[in-house]
Structure 1
């Protein structure tokens, strides 16, 4: 009787092992995308604490450039536009084609180009990451358009390749309402 129990137990274990879900492959072939949200959160916290002086220039509607030395800034608000271009969310990956190459200095350049049929605002994103996996440069084109409104922004962010610390950024764009004039603007900030 006990030999039947042992055989039954072995058969049950073998059946359970056969139903076990196979392990996923070690590599899916998709390269990891730089954690832009994590980087921006880290830089926001650092800059909020340090409050470095910033030379900020603004040009709007063809007016002369206005330049100010800013001693205190709300870095969460200042860097919010760069959060919009984070493509690391899995839901967005299918909408972009990635091209990646390595520069002679060992930095990696990843260019993400939107599928023409996708309804996402980031048209193009280029990230340059140092061999130490620190962000060196971000460039993006953000395009939003509907029947009443058109907006195109070219944004860029520069960072020290060794430390990854933000050194400056630029937002340049145009906005147009269907029944209004275009508004062209540019904001440069240097730390």
Structure 2
């Protein structure tokens, strides 16, 4: 009887495990794109020239990420705009249209709820989404003590026969309770 009780307890515990949030193939997968980009940039020995402004102060410099982990840290913000998650299924409306200012096509994911961290994600591409040229997105964080809004833009060029990240920019504002707002902007260019 004691063994039966232990067996039933183990069975119950095993059935109570939660499934991890899985990536799905519903929306464009920015995570897979950036994994490939990080590998290519690391192997290509790329460096980044950056210009940054925080309120009225500016600075600039060049860095050379020396590992894939360093590239991971560099592109953490892009991971936050990944909407290709099962928990977000049905929260975005997808539209496709021709960009009126270029020869590119646009795939736009517009949020259907006001409380999404990524209100929109736009992909500009040539012929197929695999031939990506620009990603634009907005990322918003809101809680009782902190508000942040960032507009991100990633520009890809076809240097090697496939799209490779060439430039990116982040522009935004953040506000903490009882503190002044901070306006910031980062512009970066990747050189091989």
Instruction: Sort the TM-score into its range (normalised by shorter chain).
Output: 0.7 to 0.9
Range moving further from structure 2, 175-184 or 106-115: 106-115
> In the alignment, does 2:121 pair up with 1:125?
yes
Residue aligning to 1:170: 169
Is it true that 1:137 corresponds to 2:134 in the alignment? Answer: yes
Q: CA deviation at 1:116?
A: 2.8
How far 1:32 moved relative to its partner? 5.5
Per-residue deviation, 1:41:
0.2
Distance 1:93 1:108, change over 3 A: farther
Cα deviation per residue 1:153-183 (whole Å; 9 max; x = unaligned)? 0011000155210001111111101110111
1:183 aligns with 2:182: yes
State whether residues 106 and 131 of structure 1, in contact with CA within 8 Å, keep that contact through their aligned partners in structure 2: no
Match of 2:28 among 31, 34, 37: 34
Q: How many residues were matched structurally? A: 159
Q: CA deviation at 1:103?
A: 4.4
Corresponding residue of 2:104:
107
- Aligned-pair distance for 1:34? 2.8
CA RMSD of aligned residues (A): 2.1
TM-score (structure 2 length as normaliser): 0.74
> CA 1:32 to 1:128, structure 2 compared with 1: closer, same or farther past 3 Å?
farther
1:60 pairs with 2:51: no
- Aligned partners of 1:143, 1:189: CA distance in 2, in Å? 21
In 2: Cα distance, 1:143 partner to 1:71 partner: 29
Using the alignment, how far apart are the partners of 1:112 and 1:76 within structure 2? 24
- Unmatched tracts of structure 2, length 5 or more: 1-24
Cα separation, 1, equivalents of 2:120 and 2:77: 14
Mapped pair 1:91 → 2:84: no
